[in-house]
Each structure stands twice: as C-alpha cells, then as structure tokens.
Amino acid sequence: MRPTTFASVLLAASIILPAVHAPTYGATPSGKPAGKDGYRAAPLPAGIWSPDQGDGTYINPILAGDYSDPDVVRVGEDFYLTASSFTNVPGLPVLHSKDLVNWSLLGYALEKNVPEAHHAVPRHGGGVWAPAIRHHDGRFHIYYPDPDFGIFMVSATDPKGPWTAPVLVDDAKGAIDPAPFWDDDGQAWLVHGFAGSRAGFKNVITLKKMSADGKRTLPGEKRIIDGDRLPKVATSQGPMPWFTTEGPKLYKRNGWYYVFVPSGSVKGGWQGVFRARHIEGPYEGRNVMDQGDTPINGPHQGAWVDTPAGEDWFVHFSDADSYGRRVYLQPMQWGADDWPLIGVRQGKAPYGAPVTRHRKPNVAVQPVSVPVTSDEFDDGYHLGWQWMANPMADWVDTSVKGHLRLKAVSSPANLWEAGHLLTQKLPGMTFSATTAITLKPGGQAGERAGLVAYGYDYAWIGLENTVAGQRLVHVTRLKADLGVNGGKIQQGSETVLTAPVEVKGPVHVRLSFTPVQVAEPAPEVPHYWHSMLRSTHARVTASYSVDGVNFQPLGTPFITQPGRWVGTQVGLFAQAPGGTPSYTATRAGHAEFDYFRFGR
C-alpha cells in the first residue's frame, strides 16, 4: 500500500447525472480486449461517477472515491467493503453492496484513531493502513495496522455498528497489511507484511498463530514468503524480481492454501498468488494479473470474493494520483490446475489484464447507488465527511440544523497542520463543488473560513476577517507539507488574492475540477509499464457569487497534488490562524455553511 487516481441517482443538490458511454479503452462488454489502439486514458464523464450502465454492464472504477487498499467479504447475499483511512477520522469506512458494482456507505468501524492523544493532530501517512474484513462465528472482524503502533482489531455483530474499541493484537515493529484466517480445525491465523520505513526491511510475508478469539497473536512466527529469495516471475514486461511484496490475503480452496499478494510497487506492479498444501508452506507463486497494454496501473492490493451463484471476482485499487486510489472490479476464474487468473487472459499467458467494461455479476438486481456526496446539512452532516485528526467536541455545533456551523479553531496557518478540516473524497473527475459561507468572527481580526482543495499543495476560496472588515480571498499554498515528500525541506508560503467585492452577507464559492495529465520521467529500470510515464491531476478554478446564480472567476487555475498515500480531498474549514490576534482571543467565532453541492 504505497503513493496515489478517479445516474441515475442524486441527492439533495438535484444534479442530473449524465448518460455514460464506455471510455475509449479497456474491454468490450463481453470482456474481450478492445485492442491495443483502443487504449486511451479517457476521463470519466462529467459529474458524480456511477459505474452501473443500466444494461447489465459496468464500467470501472466501481468506486471513483479514494478507497485505498480495499478488502471485501460476502455474508449470504450481501457484500461488505472496508479500506484504508490513514489520518482521516472517523476511520475504517464500511460499505455495502448486493452486486459488487453499486455501493453505499454504512458508516465507520473506528470512531477515533488510537492512541487518541497521538492522533489529536494530523498524522499524514500514519493511522489506519490496509485493513481486512472477515465474518467469523457470527461477528464481523476488521484487522488494521498502524505501522507506528501495531496491528489492531475491532468487531461487531452488525456492520452498521456499534463496533468494539480497538484491541492491540500484535505490536511487531512496522507490521502492516494484516489478514486473519480461521482454518477448518478452528485454529486462527494472521498473515501480514512489513513497512521498510518502520521495520527496516520489507518484501516479506509472515504467518502467526492467534488465540481462538483472534485478539492476540501467539509466540512463534514463520516467514512464508521472502521476495528477495524468490526466482523472477513472468509478467507482460518479461521476467521481474519480486519486490515490495505486501498486502497478503489468506484463503483456502480445494485443499490448497492461497496467499494473494500484490508486488512490484503500486503503479508498476502486478497481482501475485502463492499456494501451498500446508499453511506454513512451502509456497509457490505466480503473477495472475498485470497491466498489459491497458491504462489500468498496478493492478494493486485487493480481495477475492465469490457470489452465491459460484462466480469469482476480484476487487482491487488502481492509482490515479490526485484522484486517489480508485476501486476496480475484475472477473476471476479458476483453472483445472487450481490456479486463478484475474481479468482477461493475455494471449496464452497464465495471467490476465484488467477490464474496463464488463457484464455485472450474476446476482440479484440492485438499484443504482453511489456513496453520499452533496449535503444540505438538514440534520448535521452526512457520513461522507471525515476530519483530518481526532476531533474535539466543539469543532462543530451539532445543535444547529439546516446548515453546518464550524468553530474557528486555533491552529497553524498552514492547513496541512490543521486537524479541523472536514473533507470528502473526490466523487468523479470533472465536477464542481459549491457552498455558501457566512463568517461570524469572535471580534478579533484574522479568522477565516473557506472551501478547500487539499493535498501536498492546496487552494481555497472563502472569507477572512480583517481590521477593515471582511474580504473574499483566494489562497494557495504550494509544498504545504514543506516539500518533505520530495526529499528536501522547502518552506511553502501563502499567496493571497482579494476579490473586488464588498462582503455584506453570505457568499457562494465554487471550485471546479478538470483532469489533466502530466508527463513523468521514465523509471531507471529496464522494463516498466507505460502508465508510469504519466500522472493524473486536476486543474481547479475558483469562482464566487453574491446571488448564488452569477459566478465570477477569482485567481489563476491551480493544479492539485495528492496527499500522503491519499488523493486530493475537498472540504470545509473555519480557522483562527497562528500569528493573528484571533489565535489567542478569549472568544472564538464561527462560520456557517448553508449547503455543499457537487455538480458538473
């Protein structure tokens, strides 16, 4: 799990989603490849993305939002998905589907990141890494790692909750990507990988026994996969060494134990599978899906799941940079030799390539649905919102109905260091986000509030209180993380542009997103997939309106960047920034947001 892309339905905003035509790449509805000349990375249609085409087919991604490192379990006729949440709170989203294509957000399994004091400020790149969800003995269990503290488990009888408080199952340094497994004899097992940044090594999968209740690992462990010691594996780019092997999921079928593991890094990797007759090995492995000639990079980290009718499918993510790690659905088949193949077979090779368009799983018909997006704040804020750190009780006034009231929280001026941002995942590729802001300062100059596009670089449009009164501003900050991601500390600073308008009441502000592709240098390796030569970001323009109808542009276009292991996020905030009189004022003001709507 490492660096980060992306109708019939709609919500309160009354947005009409477009009829969607197949992008000009991938596969035909039958699943057959469209041909090498057909692979062009066309953007998704404008608006909120819905994968269900209404004709028995779907188009990937099945989730345009940034649900990184997805894992899926089936219980009866229902499918449940969870994903990484990193520093965002609440964490461990739990989604539900009846057909693996249409998903709704049920809630979260983790109210706050633990230890709570440590996560009271944003821990970008920390927090909840790749989880696994299983159903055993009448309960749902989610195992997740925080690479700085260990492997935790939460459980519930109902996926909507309540979920138990996290239990520390294993405190191995740098342990990541855990997955539990209960064998036929009742013995509980745990497999996991390692983060080189914490453990000092990686490319290793370890197997451990657990107590029967799955709450603690037992003494003793065994390295069942050591990528550095393995022979090269066949891929569409030729023989490749196993490296960055991680994200294990352990299953059993026909007397074989299978460990599904991605390898080769996020954008340049493939999906591997290892198998053995005995759970402790020895294991043999192969590549079962790689990018081939498609634009779907990775494909990386995911889950095998079957249907009540006996079909097999694979859910994984593909990295779209600023648009996050989007979730894809691939057909999967088992050969007579008991090896799986994911996607569409590449010639006569034992591995497949991912599909873009395919028939839907043979399950009960489900209405078209997407996770919640727009919000009228009729009764608080909806499940799609997350904070950047464990929230304080007074960050939002929950007694207010009909609009969102956020406290002007004292924090560093650089929003990268502010935990009180309330954000959402990007719902598509070409879209707008609009809100109306009223700023009610506590009496001191310096308080501000806005609508933000947020990552390593960020930009926002909103209101600021000054000694001369309120002003409408467009603010950008490049290298908000101080350039740490680039390996060199660089102090970013704000650029502020003031609109030529008098602020007398609520101001409507809008950020409009359009995808752009940026060329990347070729990797310094002999063989690589072409997806590594480009990154996908968004060109964001800001505009404002005093009447909610006529919008005027403000500032120059801004090119997004992802965050640490996540895509760009869009959200709302109110702040008393450091270095202003309001930072230590006795009274704190607040901002009110009348609505939040996604459009085309």
Query: Which amino acids are annotated catalytic?
Result: 69, 246
* Distance (Å, whole) CA 489 – CA 197: 18
Task: Tell me if 330 sits within 8 A of 355, measured CB to CB.
Answer: yes
User: Which residues pair with residue 74 across a beta bridge?
Assistant: 79
Sign of CA dihedral 118, 125, 301, 349: negative
Q: How many residues does the chain have?
A: 600
* Distance (Å, whole) CA 217 – CA 187: 12
DSSP result, 170-182: E--TTEEEEEEEE
In 324-340, which positions are buried (b, 16+ CB within 10 angstroms) versus exposed (e)?
A: bbbbbbbbbeeeeeebb
Judging by beta carbons within 10 Å of its beta carbon (0-12, 13-18, 19+), is residue 465 exposed, middle or buried?
Answer: buried
Task: Tell me if 547 sits within 8 A of 504, measured CB to CB.
Answer: no
Beta strands in 256-343 (DSSP E): 256-263, 270-276, 284-290, 300-306, 312-319, 325-334, 340-342
The single residue listed with the structure tokens 């077979």 is 345
CA dihedral of 165, 170, 175, 179, whole degrees rounded to 10: -70
Q: What share of the chain is helix, strand, coil (3-state, %, to 5)?
A: 5, 45, 50
Token pair for 137: 């003995």
* Distance (Å, whole) CA 495 – CA 222: 54
Task: Tell me if 133 sits within 8 A of 81, measured CB to CB.
Answer: yes
CA geometry: angle at 469 spanning 407 and 381, to 5°? 25
Query: CA distances (Å), 533 to each of 243, 519, 520, 561, in order?
Result: 20, 6, 5, 16
The single residue listed with the structure tokens 């004022």 is 585
Query: How far, rounded to the nearest angstrom, does the alpha carbon of residue 261 sit from its chain's CA centroid?
Result: 19
DSSP result, 30-73: TS-B--GGG---PPPPSSS---B-SSSEEES-SB-S---S-EEE
Token pair for 583: 């930072």
Query: CA distances (Å), 534 to each of 46, 267, 291, 514, in order?
Result: 21, 10, 15, 16
Query: CA distances (Å), 87 to each of 124, 416, 417, in order?
Result: 6, 12, 12
